[in-house]
Amino acid sequence: MKKLYTIASFVLVSVISFAQVTSDAFPEPTDVSTKILKSKKIVSSISTKAAPFWSVDFSGGIPSNWTNGSNPTPPVISAPWVYRGPSTNPGVNTGSQGAYAGTNGPIASPTAANGFMLFDSDYYDNGGTAGNFGAGTYPCNSITGGAPTGHVGTLTTDAIDCS
pLDDT per residue over 54-85, tens digit each? 888 888 889 999 999 888 777 777 889 999 99
Say yes or no to pLDDT of 97 above 90.
yes
Residue 63 or residue 148, greater confidence = 63
CA distances to 77, 124, 142 from 148, rounded to whole Å, are: 10, 12, 8
Domain range list for the chain: 55-157
Do 16 and 8 touch, CB atoms closer than 8 A?
Answer: no
With contact defined as beta carbons under 8 Å apart, do 125 and 100 qualify? no
